[in-house]
Homo-oligomer: A and B are copies of this chain.
Amino acid sequence: MTDIGGRAWELVLRTIEADLLSGSLKPGDHLPPERTLAAELQVGRSSVREALRVLEALGLIRTQTGSGPGAGAIITAAPSGGLGTLMRLQVAATGFAVADIVKTRVLLETAVARELANAAPVPDLQASATLLDAMDELGLTPEEFLALDAAFHVSLADASGNQVVAAIMSGLRTSIEGYVQAGVPSLPSWDATAEQLRGEHRAILRAVTGGDPDVAAARINSHITGYYTATSLPLHERN
Contacts and interface: CB of A to CB of B under 8 A. Distances in A.
Interface of A: 5-6, 9, 13, 17, 20-21, 27, 46, 49-51, 53-55, 57-58, 60, 63, 65, 75-77, 79, 82-83, 86-90, 92-94, 96-97, 100-101, 103-104, 107-108, 111, 161-165, 167-168, 172, 237
A55 B87 CA distance: 12
A86 B58 contact: yes
Given A107-B108, A163-B100, A79 B90 contact: yes
Contacts of A82: 86, 89-90
B94 A77 contact: yes
Contacts of A13: 57
A224 B53 CA distance: 37
A138 B236 CA distance: 44
A162 B237 CA distance: 8
A100 B164 contact: yes
A70 to B, nearest CB: 15
Contacts of A164: 96, 100-101, 103-104, 172
Q: How many copies does the complex hold?
A: 2
Secondary structure call for the A interface: helix
Nearest to A167: B90
Given A50-B53, A96-B164, A100-B163, 12 more contacts: A5-B65, A17-B88, A17-B89, A17-B92, A53-B54, A54-B54, A58-B86, A60-B93, A77-B94, A79-B93, A83-B87, A86-B86
A65 B20 contact: no
Nearest to A85: B58
Contacts of A90: 58, 60, 79, 82-83, 167
A21 B87 CA distance: 12
A190 B89 CA distance: 41
A34 to B, nearest CB: 12
